[in-house]
Amino acid sequence: MGIALDAYLLDWASLLLRWLHVIAGIVWIGTSFYFVALDNSLDPADPPRRGVMGENWSIHGGGFYHKQKYLVAPDRLPERLHWFKWEAYWTWISGFALFVVAYYLHADTMLIDRSVADLSAGTAVALSIGLLVAGWVAYDLLCRSPLGQHEGALAVAGLALITLAAWGCAQLFGARGAYIQVGAMVGTIMVANVAMVIIPGQRRVVAAMLAGEQPDPKYGRWGKQRSVHNNYLTLPVVFVMISGHYPMTWGHPHAWAVLVAVFVIGALVRHFFNRRHAGRTLAWLPVIAALLVIALALAIRPQPPKAAQSSSFAEVQAVIAQRCASCHAATPTQPGFAQPPGGVMLDTPERIGQHAAKIHQQSVLTRAMPPGNLTGLTDEERAVLAAWTARGAPLQ
């Protein structure tokens, strides 16, 4: 009863943290989309005003809005200044807390696959935390290097860094854990851009104005660069957040390459909207992105494995009882599970037949189940399941 209660409370913690993470992420991403769109749609000030690089008139919610952007800073600091930081901070805080509850506390199931790397739970968690820090350090050094003065070259180097991270995580963690690890690394880079570059730069500008000094324009340039980087990373990070429900992506043998392709596709889509807000509609960008999605879906389409010569339902039931039912039962016996994952129960013949398609998809085609192959489902046993579903999944 104690173990079941602990798992139940962890489920509630996961639910509430996920809810907070989604809410904070919506606010942060919405802010990013809005301000980059605002930057790209500025018109020359009319009449021209000293220090104003552009202005924007818009209408929303029944009212008109007039925004102006200063190249460095206004002549006088306003009494009330709105800062945008806590939406970023809370997105990361809630996301990391959720990472701890869902992955670190269940590292043996969610983070580790011993057929990939035979890691202890402590080692896997330590590597994960170390990679969060290393990802930010590597990215920040790239931005501060001479490459930081050339956005095209920096974008290529950034994609190379993401590729290295995706490939490296695939050598350390289980497939699903590797995806979420890369997403956490990129999310950490994004929030560190806010906490370590954008906000400190803005504070220095404000401090200079309060001291009666002329602010250094470099802080504005650095902040704008990091803000734009965050904008291009939003769509791929959202993909990682939802990809756990779609094992045909992270369950592919070359899942790291699939993830890199998603980053490219997401950046193309974001670039289309950014250019459109600047007055240029590059219609070929979404066309290329759509074609890449189609090509990716075709390339990773699961190929049915070789089925066993024949299999009886008794054999199937024995495999499921040994490899699946410890989690997928009305009362799971697998530690860490208070409820059957996804509400799928496989503890009676009728329930097994009801979920035959899911069994085929998750255990045969994508091999996503069991997570991290925790219960040791063998290729021969997967072949038994494949032969059964090929015969129409009869219950006899």
Same domain, 274 and 317: no
First-to-last alpha carbon distance for the chain, in angstroms, is 36
Do residues 44 and 69 touch, judged by C-beta distance below 8 A? no
Grouping H, G, I as helix, E, B as strand and the rest as coil, residue 338 is coil
Same domain, 239 and 282: yes
Q: Final residue of a domain: which of 299, 329, 344?
A: 299
Beta-bridge mates of residue 66: 57
pLDDT of residue 1: 42
pLDDT of residue 103: 93
Beta-bridge mates of residue 65: 58
DSSP code for 184 = H
Domain-embedded: residue 218: yes
Same domain, 378 and 358: yes
Same domain, 258 and 330: no
C-alpha–C-alpha distance, residues 383 and 305, integer Å: 7
pLDDT of residue 323: 86
Same domain, 51 and 33: no
Number of Cα atoms under 13 Å in the Cβ half of residue 153: 9
C-alpha–C-alpha distance, residues 333 and 320, integer Å: 14
Stated pTM of the model? 0.86
Q: For the beta carbon of residue 296, count every other beta carbon within 10 angstroms.
A: 18
Domain-embedded: residue 386: yes
Specify the DSSP element, H or E, that contains 56: strand 52-60
Domain-embedded: residue 13: yes
Q: For the beta carbon of residue 204, count every other beta carbon within 10 angstroms.
A: 14
Amino acid at 117: A
Q: Could you tell me how many helices (H) and strands (E) the chain has, helices first?
A: 14, 2
Do residues 341 and 334 touch, judged by C-beta distance below 8 A? no
Profile the chain (396 residues) by mean pLDDT over runs of 10 residues.
63 90 95 92 88 91 92 86 93 96 90 90 96 98 95 95 97 94 97 96 92 90 94 95 87 92 96 93 96 95 72 84 84 76 82 85 80 79 84 82
Which tokens sit at 230?
């965050």
Domain-embedded: residue 76: no
Domain-embedded: residue 305: no
Same domain, 327 and 285: no
Domain-embedded: residue 77: no
pLDDT of residue 5: 54
Radius of gyration of the chain (CA): 25
Q: Would you call 275 exposed, middle or buried from its count of C-beta atoms within 10 A (0-12, 13-18, 19+)?
A: middle
Question: What are the φ/ψ torsions at residue 202 (nearest 5 degrees)?
Answer: -65, -35
Range of the domain at 149: 2-39+84-299
Q: Final residue of a domain: which of 231, 265, 299?
A: 299
C-alpha–C-alpha distance, residues 382 and 386, integer Å: 6
Residues with Cβ < 8 Å from 42, sequence gap 6 or more? 53, 54, 55, 56, 69
Alpha carbon 246 to its chain centroid, in Å, reads 13
Same domain, 162 and 189: yes
pLDDT of residue 365: 79
Domain-embedded: residue 116: yes
Task: Please give the C-alpha separations between residue 255 and each of 69, 114, 293, in angstroms, as whole numbers.
Answer: 43, 17, 15
Alpha carbon 340 to its chain centroid, in Å, reads 25
Domain total in the chain: 3
Domain-embedded: residue 229: yes
Same domain, 202 and 60: no
Grouping H, G, I as helix, E, B as strand and the rest as coil, residue 214 is coil
Same domain, 194 and 96: yes
Q: To the nearest 10°, the Cα dihedral for 249, 255, 257, 261?
A: 20
